[in-house]
Protein backbone atom coordinates (compact mmCIF):
# COMPACT_ATOMS: atom_id res chain seq x y z
CA UNK A 1 0.00 0.00 0.00
CA UNK A 2 1.21 3.47 -0.81
CA UNK A 3 2.07 5.97 1.90
CA UNK A 4 -1.40 7.42 2.58
CA UNK A 5 -0.10 10.77 3.80
CA UNK A 6 2.05 11.21 0.68
CA UNK A 7 -0.85 10.19 -1.58
CA UNK A 8 -3.26 12.59 0.15
CA UNK A 9 -0.81 15.49 -0.21
CA UNK A 10 -0.21 14.65 -3.88
CA UNK A 11 -3.94 14.61 -4.68
CA UNK A 12 -5.19 17.33 -2.33
CA UNK A 13 -2.63 20.11 -2.67
CA UNK A 14 -4.33 22.34 -0.07
CA UNK A 15 -3.66 19.93 2.80
CA UNK A 16 -1.38 21.34 5.49
CA UNK A 17 -2.04 18.90 8.35
CA UNK A 18 -2.80 15.18 8.45
CA UNK A 19 -3.59 13.27 11.62
CA UNK A 20 -4.12 9.51 11.75
CA UNK A 21 -2.57 6.47 10.12
CA UNK A 22 -5.39 4.57 8.43
CA UNK A 23 -8.20 5.41 6.06
CA UNK A 24 -10.61 5.15 9.00
CA UNK A 25 -8.65 7.49 11.29
CA UNK A 26 -7.06 10.05 8.97
CA UNK A 27 -8.28 13.63 9.16
CA UNK A 28 -6.78 16.20 6.77
CA UNK A 29 -7.01 19.95 7.25
CA UNK A 30 -6.04 23.04 5.27
CA UNK A 31 -4.23 26.16 6.55
CA UNK A 32 -7.46 27.45 8.10
CA UNK A 33 -7.83 24.13 9.95
CA UNK A 34 -10.91 23.33 7.88
CA UNK A 35 -11.34 19.61 7.39
CA UNK A 36 -10.83 18.45 3.82
CA UNK A 37 -13.00 15.76 2.30
CA UNK A 38 -10.55 13.12 1.06
CA UNK A 39 -11.23 11.37 -2.23
CA UNK A 40 -10.26 7.85 -1.11
CA UNK A 41 -10.81 6.38 -4.56
CA UNK A 42 -8.04 8.60 -5.95
CA UNK A 43 -5.84 8.15 -2.88
CA UNK A 44 -6.07 4.35 -3.04
CA UNK A 45 -5.38 4.34 -6.79
CA UNK A 46 -2.41 6.73 -6.51
CA UNK A 47 0.97 5.36 -7.55
CA UNK A 48 4.05 6.98 -6.08
CA UNK A 49 6.11 8.34 -9.02
CA UNK A 50 9.27 7.67 -6.99
CA UNK A 51 8.50 3.98 -6.39
CA UNK A 52 11.16 2.85 -8.86
CA UNK A 53 13.78 4.74 -6.81
CA UNK A 54 12.90 2.84 -3.63
CA UNK A 55 12.99 -0.50 -5.45
CA UNK A 56 16.32 0.32 -7.09
CA UNK A 57 17.85 1.40 -3.80
CA UNK A 58 16.82 -1.86 -2.13
CA UNK A 59 18.04 -3.99 -5.05
CA UNK A 60 21.38 -2.47 -6.06
CA UNK A 61 24.51 -4.46 -5.24
CA UNK A 62 26.23 -3.25 -2.08
CA UNK A 63 28.94 -0.61 -1.95
CA UNK A 64 31.26 -3.30 -0.64
CA UNK A 65 30.65 -5.39 -3.77
CA UNK A 66 31.39 -2.33 -5.89
CA UNK A 67 34.63 -1.56 -4.02
CA UNK A 68 35.89 -5.13 -4.18
CA UNK A 69 35.09 -5.48 -7.88
CA UNK A 70 36.61 -2.11 -8.73
CA UNK A 71 39.80 -2.78 -6.75
CA UNK A 72 40.29 -6.20 -8.32
CA UNK A 73 39.87 -4.64 -11.75
CA UNK A 74 42.13 -1.63 -11.13
CA UNK A 75 44.81 -3.22 -8.96
CA UNK A 76 44.91 -6.81 -10.12
CA UNK A 77 43.61 -6.50 -13.65
CA UNK A 78 40.94 -9.14 -12.97
CA UNK A 79 37.63 -7.97 -14.45
CA UNK A 80 35.51 -11.03 -13.54
CA UNK A 81 33.97 -9.48 -10.41
CA UNK A 82 33.62 -6.13 -12.16
CA UNK A 83 31.74 -7.71 -15.07
CA UNK A 84 29.46 -9.55 -12.61
CA UNK A 85 28.85 -6.31 -10.72
CA UNK A 86 27.91 -4.45 -13.91
CA UNK A 87 25.49 -7.24 -14.90
CA UNK A 88 23.79 -7.03 -11.45
CA UNK A 89 23.68 -3.23 -11.61
CA UNK A 90 22.17 -3.17 -15.10
CA UNK A 91 19.61 -5.85 -14.15
CA UNK A 92 18.35 -3.67 -11.30
CA UNK A 93 17.94 -0.76 -13.72
CA UNK A 94 16.16 -2.96 -16.27
CA UNK A 95 13.86 -4.53 -13.66
CA UNK A 96 12.93 -1.12 -12.19
CA UNK A 97 12.60 1.34 -15.10
CA UNK A 98 11.98 5.04 -14.58
Residue 34 has pLDDT above 90, yes or no: yes
pLDDT in tens, 48-93: 999 999 999 999 999 999 999 999 999 989 899 999 999 999 999 9
Half-sphere exposure of 83 (CA within 13 A, CB side): 4
- With 0-12 / 13-18 / 19 or more C-beta atoms within 10 angstroms meaning exposed / middle / buried, residue 74 is exposed
What does each C-alpha distance from 21 to 14, 27, 37, 44, 80 come to in angstroms? Answer: 19, 9, 16, 14, 48
What's the whole-number average pLDDT of the chain?
Answer: 92
Amino acid sequence: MADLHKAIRAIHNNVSLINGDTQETIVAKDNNETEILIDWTLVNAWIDPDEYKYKRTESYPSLQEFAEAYCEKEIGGNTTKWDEYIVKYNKVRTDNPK
